[in-house]
Amino acid sequence: MASTSFSLAQARGRRVSTSILVTFLGAVSLLVTACGGTSGTGNTTKHTLTAICSVGGSYTENMSPFSPNVNCGVDGLVYENLEYVNGINGKETPMLGTSYTWDSTNTTLTFKTRQGVKWSDNTAFSANDVAFTFNMLKTYPTADGNGLWQHLASVAATDDSTVVFTFQSAFPTDLPFIEGTYIVPQHLWSSIGDPTKFVNQTPIGTGPMKLKNFSPQIISYVKNPSYWQADKVKVDELDYPVVSSNDVALEKMEAGQADWTAIFDPAVNAFVQKDSAHNFSYPVPVVPAQLIPNLKNPLLSQLAVRQAISQALDRHQMSVSGEAGFEPPASPTGLMPGQEAYLSAQYNGTLPSFGPADPSGAETTLQKAGFTKGSDGIYADAHGNKLSFKVTVPGDYSDYVADLQIAQQNLKAAGIDLQLNKVSDDDFRTDRATHNFELLMSGGFFGPTPYYYLQPLLSSTHISGANATNWEQWSDPTTDQLLNQYAATSDPAAQKQAIQGLTDIMAKNLPVIPMLDAVQFFEYTTTHWTGWPTSQNPYAIGSSYQLAAGDNEQVILHLQPAS
Amino acid sequence: MSQSPLTPLSPALGATEARLPPTAPQPGDTLYRRGSLGAKALAVLRSAWRAIASNRKVAAGTGVIAFFALVALLGPLIIHQDPLKYTLTLNASPSAAHWLGTNQGGQDVFSQLVIGTRSSVFWAFLTGMLVVLISITVGLVGGYMGGAVDDALSLLTNVFLVIPSLPLAIVAVQYFNRSTITIAIVVALTNWPWGARVLRAQTLSMRSREFVTAARASGEKTWRIIFAEIFPNEISIVAANFVTTTIQVLLAVAGLEFLGFGDTNTISWGIMLNQAYSSGALLTGSWWWFAPPGLCIALLGAGLALLNFGIDEVADPRLRVRRRPALLARKKLEAA
Amino acid sequence: MRRLIRRISIYLLAIWAAVTINFFLPRLAPGDPAKALFFRLSQHGYVNPALLQALESEFGLDTTDPLWLQYLKYLNNLLHGNLGISTSAYPATVAQVINQDIRWTLVLLSISVLISFVAGTLIGVFMAWKRGTALDTSLSAIMTFLYSILYPWLALLVVYFIGFKAGWLPFSDGYDLSLTPGWSLDFILSAAQHAILPAFTIVISTVAGWMLTMRNSMITTLSEDYVTMARAKGLTTRRVMFAYAARNAVLPSVTGFAIAIGSVVGGQLLVEIVFSYPGIGFALYQGILSQDYALADGILLLVIVATVVMNLIVDLLYTVLDPRTRQERSA
């Protein structure tokens, strides 16, 4: 029950967003959108933005930012967080917090909070609200979706504009989660009980929008006149109509009845082509979709086998036929475009790629490692153990299934047998966390730096336990040491160095086999609104559903009515 | 689960009940004689052939079914392409190279349609048989045994008759891993009651017939009386029931596959529909992807329905079309 | 009367059976629901194991009660209208979700079933009258085809050709979302307009069944002695058709109506999905997509209860239409 921040990006599934979303945040809603339209008579023109942020059935009212099924628009637009961290380049923008400092031991974090901010009921905002919010997470661990209180010792406001976070030991990597927590008003929330179950029918926040009306079919917000940078907000009204399917969402976008969405659907290409002057799609790669080998499997634990599998994959075909061209082939380093700064010097600032499918190269790799081809065309080791694997995948994720069917064809050409084991989402997650698979296709966690992807995936501390995320069971002292090096410092240069070491391990040892770059989908039209994030100006991840805390707020601050 | 709304009341079944008096062969009819199952089956086959030859509906229905059965059998011999093979030719409209175009993954739709026929037809018939098997067991045992056994079984039948089968199947199937076998079992377990009810009524009427009494007197085992004596005499009703059931089952399986419960390691008409629907085929205008599978389902279903209506007409002469009977009647009236 | 009591007890049993299946299915199915829930939550980040226990108890997964006690508690909850918590709309309950959507389904269902039944029956009477003509033959052929059509496929075609391509009518949502739901004329007109295509689809795919049944039933009835008698008396054709033949011929259709209602409801669920109609069918689909078992189960129970109630209504109607049922028949 995530307060939001960055979390697991895994797969998108059946057409859209349904699965993806859920995966990301637990926010119920998937897509956010805005659509626009201008209405008005005479000299007062009202600018309305219409967003499609979830594809599914009717809304149920959940206006608490700590509800696992929070409604669109609550996160970031009604309630704000301390600092916005851009998920593409890690850039920070002060919001309710204006600055922060770590002490020399990295155990005390001091935030200055913004002055002159008011809740939309005109009560003044202060550092006490921040301290209250974090202490509420301690009282209700259900709401503490990032497990901050595993590391925190105390949170207290020392004056009206200063909050001090004291950690049990050095924990600078918790910073993005603190920055991303939505702050709620103490004067209204001190008696509401469990914030994950609080319906919050009249949400009072500090953000740019306030609730106008909730109905199961449409949620409407209007501009909050007491917002601390209200002059930047040109959106007078923001509507989130319920949209039942991707088809309907795109149809509304084409008809100009919606301005903003985030859906995964092959038909997005057709949508862009229909009016390429106004219709745009800007998917942002966030984390690799990868083939996770079970390293306790005697065959998959051999580097040569993992290398051969990787060599044989036709990532281009997966990208085109399996993912409708939205997801580019992944880099062996596991880094995303935009994270080139974390590459080691050998790459000259260019993300390395896997290159085209090379079945004969894969065969050579296998032969060198002592595998021989059997009469059935499948390689086996000296003891006759065949290279025949089952790959576990959620049956609902139609694009993953397509990718793996392509992988099946690719691997067959290299003498490796692959069988798809399609399971329910629940079984998939259970199998993944309990290492009950041979191969498995999955995304991963991500955050403002590659550390938030690599640490859960590779740290030996995450192999066992209820929250296991080192699914492949990679256990390597060098890796752990590099991860600790990163976590122990708040110095960006030292952190960078640690990540370079980690990405080298990724590329050389293939603890997992990256396939494609999973993206955050984002579609918009410029018919009514301009100023959207673009690849030239990636000021935020554009998706209409909230991914990293504060993305949507940044978009609202940048939008201008089309002339 | 029929999606066909009226299946239970379909003319076939409705009429089956209604026609019991006229059709039920009387003692002395050839069908009622004791005899081996084989001989009975042969007799049924012979009369089936006569029906095909004499009734246009039966002939047309049989033709359609035979066509799809042939495609199911021989399809994989005609299509040499892997229907699941991904290519880079996406969403192509029909052409000489791809008779029904390609889908979102660049897969050939015509190959999928032909190869998918096997799975759709095979599972429809297999599941249909499973349903009929359950119906026969419950219906015959209940009808013959009477008493507490019958009370219990017909209560069970009536209860399941009321429970809507499609929603029940949807909810049941979601708990298990996606596979065609799961679907088949769930569909079978939710569709048997109507057939059981019809067969029970028929068995009830046969229980006191001479040949049954005779068998009982000669000390034959109960299960033998039920399945070797009574059952052969109900083959024609079972056959009619099988045909209607197969329509229901065809639609039920396709409906569940449409909802995404199908096994996408294989291909079938319902799975094609699901993939087309969930990949935005409507929005991209790929009618060649979503129209053909549904058309095949409707055609095969119509073939089965024709056969069924034809059987009714053969069995109940009143249903046979006469030339302008109304006019004749009016003339009579005028004459009077 | 005895027949009615008998029927009612069957209906009560049906509800009980459905409830029982609903209780046991999740427990028979493979997989550990507690674990599944745990990992579902951990998708979103770290989960405090203590929290897990709290949630387990909330979802009723932590119990050490013997099965029979769990079952009794489950029944007790149902009796109090407590269908559990919807995981996809948490903390909303299943009852709240259903309550939001049910009215859409009810309105659409009753209108389309009524149209379909009346139209199908009338056409059936007409065709029986014209049997043997080219009209009868061609209508029969068309109806045979419609009879075997897959609801969602027809819905796809209607959405594509009438909605997308021609743009004649709205093909998604229950009303124009810019309107506020209420008893305003605008809203009602909009809701009616949005219901046309889904209703049309349901009518088209169900009308064939009523029609073919009625046609055959009429033809059979027309050869009865009392009909011949009526004709001989020189009554007008219309009187013979409706007052004598149709009145009796409609009885099998009415019985069929009760039985068919269940499958019509099932079909409507599929139609709602394609038309994104805000009813319980669409909610069921969303529940399945997000593995919200409690929601799916709750909707199933509701559908079963609704079907049973409709059956009961039809039974009452039948008793009125056919006095014979008051005495006879135990089959």
Query: From B278, which residue of chain C is nearest by alpha-carbon distance?
Result: C274
pLDDT band at C54 (very low <50, low <70, confident <90, very high): low
- For residue B9, pLDDT beyond 50: no
Look at residue C47 in the predicted model and tell me its pLDDT.
Answer: 62
Closest Cα in chain C, distance from residue B41 (Å): 29
Contact: A322, B84; criterion CB under 8 Å: no
Under 8 Å CB-to-CB from B133, ≥6 apart: which residues?
none
pLDDT at position C7 over 50: yes
For chain B, the residue count is 336
Length of chain C: 331
Distance between CA atoms of residues B192 and B236, nearest Å: 17
Mean pLDDT calculated for residue range C189-212: 89
pLDDT digits (tens, 9 = 90+) for B75-125: 888 887 788 888 888 888 898 888 899 988 888 999 999 999 999 999 999
| Amino acid letter, residue A203 | P
What mean pLDDT comes out for the span A300-321? 95
Q: Which residues of B touch C148 (CB under 8 A)?
A: 4, 247, 250-251, 297-302, 304-305
Rounded CA-CA distance C300/B319 in Å is 39
Nearest to A321 among B90, B178, B282 (CB): B90
- Specify the DSSP class assigned to residue B33: S
Phi first, then psi: give them for residue B120, nearest 5 degrees: -60, -50
Residues of B in contact with C151 (CB under 8 A): 3, 255
- pLDDT > 90: what percent of chain A? 66
Residue B138: pLDDT band (50, 70, 90) is very high
CB atoms within 10 A of CB A539: 20
CATH of the domain at B126: 1.10.3720.10
Q: Which of A28, A240, A242, A429 to mutate to test the interface with C (most CBs of C within 10 A)?
A: A429
pLDDT band of residue C206 (cuts 50, 70, 90) is confident
Encode pLDDT of C57-77 as tens digits: 666 666 677 888 888 888 888
Helix (H) or strand (E) holding A270: helix A268-274
All domains in chain A, ordered by first residue: 285-519 (3.10.105.10)
CB–CB contact A321 B105 (8 Å): yes
Partners of residue C276 in chain A, C-beta under 8 Å: 243-245, 248
Looking at this protein, which amino acid is placed at residue A448?
Answer: P
Domain that residue C101 falls in: 94-330
Residue B10 reports pLDDT greater than 70 = no
pLDDT tens string A16-74: 333 332 233 222 222 222 333 444 444 468 899 999 988 877 888 999 998 878 899 99
Query: CB distance C97–A60 less than 8 Å?
Result: yes
Which residues of chain A have a CB within 8 Å of the CB of B282? Answer: 247
Query: Which residue of A455, A467, A545, A546 to mutate against C (max C Cβ within 10 Å)?
Result: A467
List the single range of A8-22, A208-222, B252-266 with lowest mean pLDDT.
Answer: A8-22
From chain B, the residues in CB contact with C132 under 8 A are 321-325
Residue with tokens 């924990």: A171
pLDDT score, position B13: 31
Closest CA to A400 of A261, A288, A307: A288
pLDDT at B1: 33
Residue C35 region by backbone torsions, left for phi larger than 0, else alpha for psi between -120 and 50, else beta? alpha
Tokens 């503490």 -> residue: A144
Q: Residue C34: pLDDT above 80?
A: no
**C164 and chain B: CB distance < 8 Å anywhere?**
yes
B162 φ, ψ (degrees, to nearest 5) = -80, -30
- For residue B141, give how far its alpha carbon lies from the nearest alpha carbon of chain C (Å): 15
- DSSP string for residues in C260-309: HHHHHHHHHHHHHHHHT-SSHHHHHHHHHHTT-HHHHHHHHHHHHHHHHH
What is the count of residue pairs from B and C with beta carbons less than 8 Å apart? 252
Regarding whether C132 and C61 lie in a shared domain, the answer is: no
Is C249 a domain residue? yes
Indicate if C177 and C50 belong to the same structural domain.
Answer: no
The answer to whether residues C59 and C102 belong to one domain is no
User: Which of these, B124, B162, B328, lies nearest to B244 by C-alpha position?
Assistant: B124
pLDDT value for A12 = 36
CA-CA distance, C10 to A174, in Å (whole number)?
Answer: 61
Name which of A57-61, C2-6, C28-32 the model is least confident about. C28-32
Q: Please give the Cα distance from C261 to C315 (Å, whole number).
A: 13
Residues C246 and C303 placed together within one structural domain of the fold: yes
Q: Which of C35, C42, C44, C197 is most worth mutating to test chain A (most A CB atoms within 10 A of its CB)? A: C44
Average pLDDT over residues B28-32: 43
Residues of chain C with Cβ-Cβ distance to A1 below 8 Å are 41, 44
DSSP result, C181-248: PSS-HHHHHHHHHHHHHHHHHHHHHHHHHHHHHHHHHHHHHHTSHHHHHHHHTT--HHHIIIIIIIHH
Contacts of C263 in chain B (CB under 8 A): 1-8, 164-166
Q: Would you say the pTM of this structure is higher than 0.90? A: no
Of B195, B252, B251, B204, the residue nearest B230 (C-alpha) = B204
Cα B67 to Cα B62, B72, B303, C60: the distances in Å are 8, 9, 10, 53
Facing C36 at nearest CB: one of A147, A218, A426: A426
Answer with the one of C79, C113, C138 that is the final residue of a domain.
C79
pLDDT of residue C59: 64
Check A271 against B283: CB less than 8 A apart.
yes
B3 with C133: Cβ contact below 8 A: no
Number of compact structural domains in chain B: 1
Sign of CA dihedral B122, B125, B129, B135: positive
Q: Are C18 and C304 in contact (CB under 8 A)?
A: yes
- Say what the pLDDT of residue A175 is: 93
For residues C121 and C208, state if they share a domain: yes
Instruction: Give the minimum alpha-carbon distance from C320 to chain B in angstroms, rounded to a whole number.
Output: 21
Predicted confidence band of residue C230 (pLDDT cuts 50, 70, 90): confident
Which stretch of B169-173, B222-226, C190-194 has the lowest confidence by average pLDDT?
B169-173
The answer to whether the CB of A540 falls within 8 A of the CB of A554 is yes
Would you place residue C198 in the very low, low, confident or very high pLDDT band (cuts 50, 70, 90)? very high
| The token pair that represents B165 in the structure block | 């089968």
Top-ranked range on mean pLDDT: pick from A18-27, A277-286, C172-181? A277-286
> What number is the ipTM of this complex?
0.83
Q: What band does C45 get if pLDDT is binned at 50, 70 and 90?
A: low
Which chain B residue shows the shortest CA-CA distance from C221?
B318
Contacts of A145 by beta carbon, 8 Å cutoff, 6+ apart:
A1, A2, A3, A4, A5, A7, A26, A66, C44, C45, C46
Please judge whether B86 and A405 are an interchain contact, meaning their C-beta atoms are less than 8 angstroms apart: yes
pLDDT at C32: 63
- Is residue C136 assigned to a domain? yes
Residue of C nearest to B17 (CA): C252
pLDDT at B26 over 60: no
Question: Which amino acid is residue A366, in one-letter code?
Answer: L
| Domain range enclosing B272 | 61-313
Contact predicate A51/A239, CB 8 Å? yes
CA distance A200 to A414: 57
- C233 and C194 part of one domain: yes
For B262, nearest residue in chain A (alpha carbons): A395
**Looking at the predicted structure, is the pLDDT value of residue B18 above 60?**
no
C40, pLDDT greater than 80: no
Contact state of A430 with C90 under an 8 Å Cβ cutoff: no
Contact partners of C by the rule of 3+ C-beta pairs under 8 A?
A, B
**What is the C-alpha to C-alpha distance for residues C178 and A59, in angstroms, rounded to an integer?**
16
Residue where a domain stops, chosen among C79, C112, C144: C79
Q: Going by C-beta distance under 8 Å and a sequence separation of 6 or more, which residues neighbour residue A462? A: A455, A456, A468, A469, A470
Tokens of A194: 């469990």
Looking at the complex, does the CB of residue A267 fall below 8 Å from at least one CB of chain B?
Answer: yes
Residue among A18, A26, A57 minimizing CB distance to C278: A57
Percent of chain B past pLDDT 90, that is, above it, reads 24
Residues whose CB is less than 8 angstroms from the CB of residue A308 and which lie 6 or more positions away in sequence, other chains included: A362, A363, A365, A366, A387, A414, A416
Which residues are paired to A160 by β-bridges?
Answer: none
Given pLDDT bands bounded at 50, 70 and 90, which one contains residue B266? confident
- Answer whether residue B175 is part of any domain: yes
In this structure, the answer to whether residues C50 and C131 fall within a common structural domain is: no
The string of pLDDT tens digits covering residues A331-356 is 999 999 889 889 988 898 899 999 89
Same domain, yes or no: C183 and C119: yes
Decide if B285 is inside a domain.
yes
Judgement on whether residues C307 and C274 belong to the same structural domain of the protein? yes
In a domain, C85, yes or no: no
Most B-contacting residue of C222, C259, C274, C318 (CB-CB within 10 A), to test interface: C259
CA distance C54 to chain B (A): 24
Q: What is the structure's pLDDT at C328?
A: 44
Mean pLDDT for chain A?
Answer: 88
Is C88 a member of any domain? no
Mean pLDDT across A551-561 = 95
Do residue A395 and residue B85 have CB atoms under 8 angstroms apart? no
Q: Are residues C41 and C111 in the same domain?
A: no
The contacts of residue B150 (CB under 8 Å, 6+ apart) are B142, B143, B200
Q: Is C14 on the interface with B (CB under 8 A)?
A: yes
pLDDT score at C197: 92
Mean pLDDT (whole number) for A123-148: 92
The pair of three-digit structure tokens given for residue C186, joined into one six-digit string: 């605008």
User: Using the 8-state DSSP alphabet, how is residue A390 labeled?
Assistant: E
Q: Residue A64, SS3?
A: coil
Contacts of C315 in chain B (CB under 8 A): none
Residues from chain A contacting residue C41 (CB–CB below 8 Å): 1, 26, 68
**C226 in the same domain as C103:** yes
Give the model's confidence band at A143: pLDDT under 50 very low, under 70 low, under 90 confident, else very high: confident
Contacts of A15 in chain B (CB under 8 A): 278-280
Q: Is the pLDDT of residue B23 over 70?
A: no
Which of C54, C79, C104 is the endpoint of a domain?
C79
Domain count, chain C: 2
Q: With beta carbons under 8 A apart, name residues in chain A contacting C32.
A: 430
- The minimal CB distance from A60 to the residues C47, C92, C276 is found for C92
Looking at the domain assignment, is residue C89 inside a domain?
no
- Which chain C residues contact residue B159 at CB under 8 A? 10, 13-14, 17
Residue B259 lies in a domain: yes
What pLDDT is attached to residue A136? 96
Task: Note if the bond before C91 is cis, omega within 30 degrees.
Answer: yes
- Chain A: nearest CA to B176, how far in angstroms? 8
pLDDT at A406 over 50: yes
| Residue B138 in domain | yes
Same domain, C163 and C189: yes
